Amino acid sequence: MNILLSCAIVATLLMVVIILLRWGRLRCQGTMPTSLFAFTAILFTSGLDVGLIMFPLGEFPVYAEESAYAFTNPLAIEFGFWGFLVWAFYFLTTFYFVIVEPRLKLFEIPAIKFINNLVIIGTCAFTGFLFLSYLPDYAQGISEPLRYGLTAAVVLLAVFSSSDVRYVKWLSIGSTWLFFALIGLLALNAGMGATAFSNSLVNLSGYFGNLHRFITPMSDYHAFYLFWWFSWSIMIGQFVARFVGGLSAWQLCLAMLVIPSIPIAIWFSVLYFYFEQALVLSGVLKLSMLVVGVIFVINSLDSLIRLYTTNLNFTVERFGFSPYIIGNWLLMYGLVLLFQFTPLKIEWIGLVVIGLYGAVSLLLLRHSARLVQPVLNDVDAGY
């Protein structure tokens, strides 16, 4: 399975290089263009969840001890699992849904459309299930009724936010500012000055100096992360493509790789200082992290709900506000509960998405003369 994953990653990155070399100057604009800040805020909060907030302090000790990660420091490993190069997956799919899909409409083919929406719905519910499962780790001592009640509330808020794309944008921008405030709060609490921050941040050079090691799985846990990025890539590309605001392809790629990686690098550097200094988080700080993490989960879920309801035309405009809220909440929360009785793994969803990549690629190759060449002519005319 890891061999297939490695081949898919190499093919994906190669396609990104081809796009940048051939159509790097092509202007990309979605159907609902926004400012660069709004676009990256939507991208950042939709493409990440509570794991960004809560996982690093538990993963740093593992990366410090296991031999698979001995070639660099834990901060560089953590950043490599979440930042920079892996965002190229999102760029590729965003470019496709801005430039290619409106012309070819391959995702309107019944079989592809069915699998695509099944993946979106399944991944959305699976994300809610993971939140339910890990909630006792995030909030130690939480009671069972509160755990299920909080998960139900998160799903309900996500469904409500998805009912209007303006709510999605406002929540994304607001949660981005909250994330920056959380970084400042933890840095201030630790007494982390500019020198200490710089000393922590410089550890990221261990990632860029070993960039080639992060392309293929270095461990089963790294493979889990890479499958997760693949499983989300088509969905996030579909969702954020509409918000692209007229950047050229190379600017879009640079923005998607660099801008989200900056807050991730800052956040991880602050947490790494806590790890190195063996600092203990107070109850207030843990609660603050949990609150921001919950909002990130809502951001992730609302974008996926908005996506599949648009694809399937299960919209507020068609059915009304109350049926939309009730129907989607029952579907999502019901699936979250059902996932407790299934052996589903994110690797399986990742394999299905890789299969979608392959199917779309074969269609492009098979019908290249009839379908692709007119698109390429349109693209070339867009310089």
Grade residue 378 by pLDDT with cuts at 50, 70 and 90.
Answer: low
CB atoms within 10 A of CB 61: 11
Tokens linked to 240: 């954020």
Share of the chain above pLDDT 90, in %: 64
Treating both helix axes as pointing N-terminal to C-terminal, what angle do 36-46 and 249-258 enclose, rounded to 10 degrees? 50
Residue type, 248: S
CB 309 within 8 A of CB 328: yes
pLDDT digits (tens, 9 = 90+) for 282-323: 889 989 999 999 999 999 899 999 999 999 999 999 999 999
CB 48 within 8 A of CB 300: yes
Least confident of 79-83, 131-135, 262-266: 131-135
The DSSP output letter for 72 is S
pLDDT digits (tens, 9 = 90+) for 10-50: 999 999 999 999 889 999 999 999 999 999 998 888 878 78
pLDDT value at residue 205: 95
pLDDT value at residue 381: 61
pLDDT value at residue 210: 96
**CA-CA-CA-CA torsion sign (7, 339, 176, 266):** negative
Across the range 173-181, mean pLDDT stands at 92
CA–CA separation, 164 vs 159, rounded Å? 10
CB 256 within 8 A of CB 90: yes
CB atoms within 10 A of CB 233: 26
CA–CA separation, 103 vs 344, rounded Å? 35
Residue type, 105: K
> For 253-257, which contacts have Cβ atoms below 8 Å and span 24 or more sequence positions?
253/16, 253/19, 253/20, 253/88, 253/91, 253/95, 255/36, 255/39, 255/40, 256/40, 256/43, 256/87, 256/88, 256/90, 256/91, 256/94, 257/84, 257/85, 257/87, 257/88, 257/91
Residue-by-residue DSSP string for 311-380: HTT--HHHH-HHHHHHHHHHHHHHHHHHGGGS---HHHHHHHHHHHHHHHHHHHHHTIIIIIHHHHHHHH
CA–CA separation, 9 vs 354, rounded Å? 9
**DSSP H or E stretch at residue 29:** strand 27-29
User: Is pLDDT at 325 greater than 90 in this prediction?
Assistant: yes
